Structure formats: structure tokens, C-alpha cells
Amino acid sequence: MQKVSFRGFRGFDPNSPIMTPDYILTVRGLTKTFSGVKALDQVQLNLRKGEVHALMGENGAGKSTFMKILIGLHTPDSGEIIFEGSELKASDVNEILKKGISMIHQEILIVPELTVAQNIFLGQESNRGFFSWIDEKKLNQKAGILLEQMGVTISPTTPMKYLSVAEMQMVEIAKAISNDAKVIIMDEPTSALSDKEVATLFGIIRDLKKKGVAIIYISHKMDEIFEISDTITVLRDGKYIDTKPAAQLDTPTLIKLMVGREIDSLFPVSVAQKGAEILSVKNLSRAGKFSDITFAVHAGEVLGIAGLMGAGRTEIARAIFGLDPVDSGEIYLRGKQLIIKTPQDAIRSGIGYVSEDRKKLGFIPGMSVKHNMTLASLPNHAKGLFIQDKSETATAAQMIADLRIKTAGADQKVTFLSGGNQQKVVIGKVLLASPDLVILDEPTRGIDVGAKFEIYKLINRLVSDGIAVIMISSELPEILGLSDRILVLSKGKQTALLTKAEATQETIMQYAVH
């Protein structure tokens, strides 16, 4: 294998007749239809040994359908998949796994009560059938060697539930390697990792590359894509758009390919006027999570909160919203001290919270868009005990139009919406409780570029309507692009409160690792 010092690109041109690249996986004309709608239409992919191939596209572009076909969860309508020179016809997940295609899912699939080693070898403990004896000692040993090779220090005998998300991810990778995977698909592997953990992951990926393992990498984070990938394939609306070496692309061009139009500026301009102080927090502390946090937010202002994973950002938001208790410190709303014990207290006082974990804290999946949106303000639509359907329906319809939520109707269940639209439903719910302050925790996590832009516009609208906004984000460009002031946290302590003029990616990072 050729060694290169610059970003992965090896001068490979798919149309060049001179090179005969050793493709490990070739996909041609892949088409898949769900209920008459083409989820994938003539999709192609050429994957070389030892390359990191990024698969890009907005949510709904067909990435997950594509990957689900590759690992045998879906059967394609037509098209061919050639793996190591022969056509892959199997539609059995286990068979494909044995042939060497593994996937690391976005939602980590582990058995929390089993140990690390037991999880790694789950399903391959022994090849002698159901009732054969498991040699725990040998498995622990093998797992230990595997993890050591990866350069991670996790004990094979630790129960999985005690690991951090990042460590669990490493175990999943170890599992894929133990399976002798030749192709590893990684779906948003860094969505829950800190920068340091991302660096470890990338180190492992580079090692895998050296061993000739090909990686299909799915992520919404542009900087990561350019850091780790060699080749980029773009899908849009289920169609194949283009494949290019990463070195020949930059962020705007890539976004243009993904969205199919140009987004002139990623961050819309805000015209909001800073008003009176809405919330102020004094010496807020919670043992083991954060201490001595002091800041204020004004009407018409976005206060960004930046920091690494585990810096205490979400914990502060949860405490202000009454989801977690605080040990000491005071919270004032419009100068009046508040005692917030439950989310209900917070909502009544005019605080809204859009959680980082949409699925867990945001919405009720089986409920309709309408019912989800009115959930936090239902008494406003009730006379006595009874819900006034007319008032509820009208309010929901207004909000759907207002936030431009794409749904088949107010009675559509939220599960069927795309991530961006689900997020808008959650924001709609929070807004219907008429808050003075909205806390947005990772408001654009896991949603595509186009929808991100709409959320940004929405944030600007909130502040120009005189609402105070606290925005927590791991994406520095987002923090820089939208915040008027930026609170930087490090290990539960506040290390800086920067004005827009003072803040750059570098200064924020400097204070975040303080």
C-alpha cells in the first residue's frame, strides 16, 4: 500500500483506464422501492481496499436504505452488489456478516449486563453449536489482545453498562474487527464523542486502513469528513449524484452537491435588539457536574454555551429546567428569584427546553404532530377537564405553517417525520407554552444541512420576537455564527464569557480545554 502524507488522496480517477483499482465492493444500478416510492434509484458505489469512503447526503437521501441493503436487512429490487469479485446475493444478515461486511450502528447495539468480551464475541462464542461450553478465559484473552492492538485501555471483564459511549463504540469496532470485517460501515460514529475520543477513533480508523479494511463513513460533520475520508460519494433524493476524491472538494461545493442548490450563507443575519435581562444565574452548583456558574441572558439575545463533552453544558440546562436538582446557587427570572423543582415549574415560569435527545425527551413517537405540539400547553386548550378540539387544531395548524413543518397533516404521527421536522415539532411545542426563555440543546444534532439553516432562521426569529435564547452546541461554527455572547465551560467550571467580537474557534477551544 502506498504511503501518503497529505489528505488521503491517491490520485485515483474512476474514469482513468490506466489504473485498475482493486475494488473490494462494487455496487451498480441499485434500486429499492417502498410502497411505490423510489428510496434508491440506480445508486452506484466503488469501494477500494483501505480507503475511507464518505457517504454524504441529506436525511432522506437514501443513505440508510443503501447501507441496510449492504448488510442484508433489505433486499433490493434490482442492481448488483459485487463483493470481492463475486456477486453478493445473500439477504441474510448473519451470512453477510460472516463474509466480512460489518456495520457500526448509530444507536449502539450492546447487551449492557454482559461484559466487554462477552459483547465482542456475542454470536460467535463457539462454532460448535448451541450447547457447547464457552471458554470465558480464552474469550477474555482474545478480547484483551484485540483491544490492546487498537490501543484502547478497556478491561475485557468490565460489564458493558459501566463504559462511556465512546468506549462502547470502541468495543463495537473491536467486534467488527474480530469478525474479520473487510468492510466496516460507520453510521455517525462520532455523534456522542468528545474531540479527544474522536481523535482516538480516527487513529483506529487509520490503523484499519493500513490493514486494508475499507470503511464507509456516514456523518453530518463536514470537518470530520474532510479530515478522515479519501473519497466522497454524494446521494440526493435516492439518486447517485457524484463521487470525488475528498481533496478535490470543499465544504461549500459538497453542500451544494448534497442540497442541489447553493446556500449563500450558512448563518442568516439577525436584526434582534438586546432588551431587558430575562434570566440570571448566580453561583449555580451541582456536585460532580458543575460549580459556580454565573451568567445572564437578555431578551433578544442568543447566549451560546460551548465546551467539550462532559463539560457540564447539558447538566446546567437540565438544572435550570428542573429536570435535575441543584445543590446551591440562585436562578432569577426578570429579577425575581425562582425555585424550580420540576419541569412544570420551569414551563409555568416561562422557560422552554429543547433537549439534545429528541427521541428520549422531545416527543411521544406514537402521538400525532398536533397532540405533541400542544402537550406542554394543553390547559390553554381546555375548558375545565375537556380539551377544546377546535382551538387545539387551529393552534397546531398555525404552528405547522409557521415553522414550515413538512408533514402529511396535523394528525400524522411524529415517528414518520424526518429528523429536522421532528425537531421543529419539539420547538413548536416549547413555543406554544409562550416562553420568555428558550434553551436549545444541540438543536441541529443529526439533522441535515437544509433543515439546519431553517432552524438557524427560526432562532433568529425567536430573538427578534424578544425571546431570550440559550443555545448549547458542539459545533463551533454554529456557536460562532449565532451567538451574541459565548459562555465556555471546562470540566464543570466556567472558563470564559466571550463577546461575539472576542470569540474565534481558537479562543473557544483554548478555554474549553482549560
Partner 1 sequence: MENPVQTDRNPVGISTKNRIRGIGQYGIFIAFILICLVLSVVTPKFLTVSNLTIVVTQVSINALLAFGVTFVIITGGIDLSIGSTVAVTSVVAASFAHPDTYPVVVPILAGLAAGLLLGAFNGLVITKSKVPPFIVTLGTMTIGRGLALILSKGRPVSNLSDSFNFIGGGHLLGIPTPILILIVFFIICSVVLKKTVLGRYMYAVGGNEQAAQASGIQLNKVKMVVYTLCGGLAALAGILLTSRITTGQPNAGVGFELDAIAAAIIGGTSTSGGTGTMTGTLIGALLIGVISNGLDLMNVTSYYQQVVMGIIIIGAVVLDSLNQNKN
For partner 1, the binding residues (CB under 8 A) are 34-37, 39, 60, 237, 321, 323, 342-344, 346-348, 353, 355, 360-367, 371, 375-376, 378-379, 382, 385-387, 389, 400-401, 404-409, 412, 416-418, 421, 429, 433
Which CB, 34 or 162, lies closer to partner 1? 34
* All cell numbers assigned to 486: 459565548
Q: Cβ atoms within 10 A of the Cβ of 94, count? A: 10
Nearest approach in angstroms of CB 190 to partner 1 is 24
Burial 219-244 (b: 16+ CB within 10 A, else e): bbebebbbebbbbbbbbbebbbbeeb
Which CB, 36 or 335, lies closer to partner 1? 36
Which CB, 151 or 409, lies closer to partner 1? 409
CA distances from 329 to 283, 297, 439, 487 (A): 5, 16, 19, 17
Smallest CA-to-CA distance from 46 within 234, 184, 243, 192 is with 243
Which CB, 309 or 397, lies closer to partner 1? 397
Sign of CA dihedral 162, 179, 23, 213: positive
Nearest approach in angstroms of CB 223 to partner 1 is 26
> Which residues are CB-neighbours of 478 under 8 A, at least 6 positions away?
267, 444, 456, 471
Which CB, 301 or 356, lies closer to partner 1? 356
| Strand partners of residue 32 | 40
Which CB, 350 or 481, lies closer to partner 1? 350
Spatial separation of the C-alpha atoms in residues 457 and 142, rounded to whole Å: 52
Helix (H) or strand (E) holding 418: none
Nearest approach in angstroms of CB 57 to partner 1 is 12
Nearest approach in angstroms of CB 400 to partner 1 is 7
Taking the alpha carbons at both ends of the chain, their separation in whole angstroms is 40
Which CB, 33 or 158, lies closer to partner 1? 33
Nearest approach in angstroms of CB 19 to partner 1 is 37
Which CB, 241 or 323, lies closer to partner 1? 323
Nearest approach in angstroms of CB 32 to partner 1 is 11
With beta carbons less than 8 A apart as the criterion, state whether 327 and 285 touch: yes
Nearest approach in angstroms of CB 387 to partner 1 is 6
Nearest approach in angstroms of CB 361 to partner 1 is 4
Strands in 351-354's sheet, in edge-to-edge order, are 351-354, 437-441, 468-472, 302-306, 485-490, 493-499
Name the DSSP letter for residue 247.
Answer: G
* All cell numbers assigned to 22: 482493486
